[in-house]
Chains A and B, each alone.
Chain A
């Protein structure tokens, strides 16, 4: 308490506000590392679990360093990023146009509402057997599962954004002679750009989560495969290093989305 009142915003207005965010992020990361370290100690001390002691931070980090310098991290991340990227692309190409139509046309919204809400609630992984049968390649099946997971947040965010468009904007554009194409490019898309990106951000979170179990399928590359492979070869330091890589990449992708949303947001916060 005394420390907190000493570093009051009034006494150090600039330095405090500038570094507060970084400081708090550091506290959070430190706490997580501490928990991990304590967990590692507990595992090492336990007669039943000591074989798993390589899950602890120190072996993980040294193994991670080896994996980064050897290029192994890139080798396993690139196929995963490719699958997520392609799955997301398909989800955007279907979800955005469909979301705009559903947002604009009340009848289509009413027709699709129940089927889409129903489909949305099905875990994407339940499609796994069907995907495996329907696609010739494992890659195709994985990309399908990611697209199925990612499409709903994008579709619903786009439709909700389109419904919030001020009808007066449409009337003004119509009055000034806007064609359907102009209406789309100068009114609807700019108006819902942040909604679409928010949907993409949510979808990316889901897709990244679905990716790892999807890569347990027959493929021999990617982060999910690396996890499975490390488990089979009992390399627990490699397994936990892969978990760190998955978390870091997911965090970075989310940051990119956040930055893009902030850039495209036209609304003044006042």
Chain B
């Protein structure tokens, strides 16, 4: 199940170009017709090339925060800067993956993956081919996406996100609909791909083990309060990021304890 990715080198066709740092300052948000704010003054600084997990129960505002960082929601207050530039709207450079792959069923795998380039007025079949190879879908390029399994469809969605060469990848519980084995291989592969490409990555999850498998840092959002309750580094080597590792379980226990303490 584990896929080995070659280390980055100069000849790498999908080598990274830029790394993004994310600076969230004083972000607060209240939905129209909502009782109170869902986010209430969030400050967050995410280092370039790192993976941060936003953890919280439903209603904690974690998904709202991710949408604000993606530029899909305009915050009531505060601002987000990516590599120094204020976020004013969505951009293929900080692209988001959703719970459902939401592929266009009237297009092939390759056409779906190429959408970001098409919208930018570009056509680069080589780039699409390289990214499909990266997500293990080379053999499926000309297939209709409806013929693919759920895990494969989510890989197409990943390829679609990666083709426009983003420097920031945002994941909104993208693996929650997959079975356990597919989910674990996706979690491992997406982290490996992000590290290989030098992508900064923010993932939203309510599953602490997903955060421990994928992230360098866990940010806990307190439900109802809309603030960051805890912010901690996940100190695991790549080899330890496996459910078979004792260090993984120690780290999982530590984070679970934080999560449990936060609920009370």
A168, B72: Cα distance in complex, Å:
12
Q: A168-B98, A191-B106, A268-B146 are known contacts. Are A174 and B118 too (CB-CB below 8 A)? A: no
Q: Do residues B100 and A168 form an inter-chain contact, with CB atoms below 8 A?
A: yes
Chain A CB within 8 A of B90 CB: yes
The interface on chain A, measured as residues whose beta carbon lies within 8 A of the other chain's beta carbons, has a size of 21
Which residues of B from 142 to 162 have beta carbons under 8 Å from A?
144, 146-147, 160
* Cα–Cα distance between A193 and B107 once the two chains are bound (Å): 13
Closest to B116 in A: A176
At the interface, yes or no: B96 with Cβ under 8 Å from chain A?
Answer: yes
Most chain B beta-carbon neighbours within 10 Å: one of A166, A173, A175: A175
Residue pairs across A and B with Cβ atoms less than 8 A apart, 18 shown, are: A166-B102, A168-B102, A171-B72, A171-B102, A172-B98, A172-B102, A175-B72, A175-B92, A176-B115, A176-B119, A176-B160, A176-B164, A177-B90, A178-B115, A178-B119, A186-B115, A191-B106, A266-B144
B104 interface residue (CB < 8 Å to A): yes
Contacts of B106 in A (CB 8 A): 190-191, 193, 266
Q: Assess whether A182 is interfacial by the CB under 8 Å rule.
A: yes
B119 touching A179, Cβ below 8 Å: yes
Is B91 an interface residue, CB under 8 A from the partner? yes
Q: Which residues of A lie under 8 Å from residue B118 when comparing CB positions?
A: 182, 186
Q: B164–A177 contact, CB under 8 A?
A: yes
* Smallest CB gap from A189: residue in B: B106
CB distance from A79 to the nearest CB of B (A): 38
Tell me the nearest residue of chain A to B100, going by C-beta: A168
* Inter-chain contacts of B72 with A (CB < 8 A): 171, 174-175
In Å, the complex CA distance between A177 and B115 comes to 9
How many chain B residues touch A (CB < 8 A): the figure is: 24
**B120 interfacial contact with A, CB 8 Å:** yes
B36 at interface by CB-CB < 8 Å: no
Residue among A166, A179, A186, A193 with the highest chain B CB neighbour number at 10 A: A186
Q: Is the CB of B70 within 8 A of A266?
A: no
Smallest Cβ-Cβ distance to B98: which chain A residue:
A168
Q: Which of B96, B106, B118 has its CB near the most chain A CB atoms (within 10 A)?
A: B106
Chain B residues near A36 (CB-CB < 8 A): none
Given contacts A182-B118, A187-B104, contact A176 B98 (CB under 8 A): no
A-B pairs with lowest CB-CB distance, top 4: A266-B106, A168-B102, A176-B116, A268-B146
B27 in the interface, Cβ–Cβ < 8 Å?
Answer: no
Residues of A within 8 A of B235 (CB): none
With A174-B72, A174-B90, A176-B164: A182-B119 Cβ-Cβ less than 8 Å:
yes
